[in-house]
Structure 1
């Protein structure tokens, strides 16, 4: 299934710029999910319902779309540049280690050209993957409309061939993370909320999407959603934990 209807909306927003349409759609989907830490791993299976063994050995890590925020006393999320820069270094390092540990050979990371606009084919693939991820979550929920075969069957289409030519990899790993942390003022407000309202008014939260795409066919062979109220990408140890959770189930 190809989520072309969502692509036209997505390409109007540069990747990695604040709370995008992807983030807003994630919030709607997350309303039906439990708190604390949870994952939703989906992958291609054979007729017997067993995961299909991956036929390739090389993978390229596509530039992660990562933004970190501080949640103020009033609940507004304020971007933190230093945190984001640290996360953009820590997470790829941890993800590479995770992929190598399960048997993949890493190709050099792929970064979008800084001047790549909405018409750039690579950026369109980048954003199309986010749109497809949202569709996977939307139609993969319990009780949601499934495809006619009731199987995990999603693709980015033949256009991924250009990414294979540029990287030489069999697979591409796309990742998207929005991480927020409770400020001192917000922490105080949460205590007041418990005392006066009898409930939690909410604080920081980590939201992550990851998908592994076969660059020979365009097929999404593995996908995961991570929701964690305690994840932290600001240091190496936290990035290792997040990478382990977000890339859960990837193996050769």
Structure 2
């Protein structure tokens, strides 16, 4: 996975910081509708594009240190769990599509990936209550344009599922600091939580025949564990629960 894509999708963390701090869980699930206002459903095959996943450990001081072995495990477990969900929903699948590690941003495929990132970020920002584009209502009415044909030719699929996840876990030192924060807050008659780990995910389902974004979700949890198959399955259930199967 190219480093530039990993860095760019630290935007997912920035989006998460805009969520209500008191919320233990949040999702921004949206499905596009047809001209009659009916939710669209998947009509065709789906390809799972290589998910952009990075797992980190939160140190006592609050720094996030990447953990390669955790990330590699998550990159195995998550796609497998997505495949099971699609199969259970009776959705036709094409083989998962791995993006080249040396994918050039200026290539046609690279441009599709970058455009999806930009569009997903815009959807997250501008369809939230009180913060949306004046030229759009809050319907899911976004497109990547005809350039997605490149991905359709490469995969033979009708839809592409893009997923981006950042997941962090508190170290033992961080957990101890949280306990001290609680005790200090209690002593002063208040409430102090310096925070621990957090799971943030952004997903889009794009129709490769038209470029239309059919479904979108931004999910944020203070729980969840992608390091094993069971935890990955739960994350997939949470993150893709509104997928229009």
- Whether the TM-score (by the shorter chain) exceeds 0.5 is yes
Cα contact 1:43–1:221 (8 A) shared by 2 = yes
Matching of residue 226 in structure 1 with residue 219 in structure 2: yes
Deviations, residues 118-137 of structure 1 (Å, cap 9, x unaligned): 22221221122111111001
Partner Cα distance (2:149, 2:201) in 1: 26
Cα contact 2:31–2:216 (8 A) shared by 1 = yes
Q: Which residue of 1 aligns with 2:4?
A: 14
Q: Of 120, 124, 130, which residue of structure 2 is paired with 1:137?
A: 124
Q: Which residue of 1 aligns with 2:203?
A: 210
Q: Which residue of 2 aligns with 1:6?
A: none
Q: Secondary structure of the residue that 2:55 maps to in structure 1? A: strand
Once the 2 structures are TM-superposed, how far is the Cα of residue 149 of structure 1 from its aligned partner?
4.9
Once the 2 structures are TM-superposed, how far is the Cα of residue 38 of structure 1 from its aligned partner?
2.1
Matching of residue 97 in structure 1 with residue 84 in structure 2: yes
Change over 3 Å in CA distance of 1:163–1:225 after alignment to 2 = same
Q: Which residue of 2 aligns with 1:184?
A: 172
Q: Secondary structure of the residue that 2:105 maps to in structure 1? A: coil
- Give the length in aligned residue pairs: 238
Partner Cα distance (2:33, 2:22) in 1: 26
Cα contact 1:180–1:206 (8 A) shared by 2 = yes
Matching of residue 238 in structure 1 with residue 228 in structure 2: no
Q: Which residue of 2 aligns with 1:81?
A: 68
Once the 2 structures are TM-superposed, how far is the Cα of residue 144 of structure 1 from its aligned partner?
1.4
Cα contact 1:13–1:20 (8 A) shared by 2 = no
Once the 2 structures are TM-superposed, how far is the Cα of residue 196 of structure 1 from its aligned partner?
1.2
Q: Which residue of 2 aligns with 1:26?
A: 15
Once the 2 structures are TM-superposed, how far is the Cα of residue 40 of structure 1 from its aligned partner?
1.2
- Segments of 5+ residues of structure 1 without an aligned counterpart are 1-11
Partner Cα distance (1:44, 1:27) in 2: 23
Deviations, residues 12-37 of structure 1 (Å, cap 9, x unaligned): 971124x745235324433x365222
Q: Of 61, 68, 75, which residue of structure 1 is paired with 2:55?
A: 68
- Aligned pairs (5 A) from 1:28-67: 28-30=17-19, 32=20, 34-47=22-35, 49-54=37-42, 56-67=43-54
Partner Cα distance (2:223, 2:241) in 1: 17
Cα contact 1:43–1:223 (8 A) shared by 2 = yes
Deviations, residues 76-109 of structure 1 (Å, cap 9, x unaligned): 0000000000000000000111112112111011
Once the 2 structures are TM-superposed, how far is the Cα of residue 156 of structure 1 from its aligned partner?
0.8
Give the TM-score normalised by structure 2: 0.91
- Aligned pairs (5 A) from 1:98-177: 98-146=85-133, 148-150=135-137, 151-177=139-165
Partner Cα distance (1:192, 1:251) in 2: 45
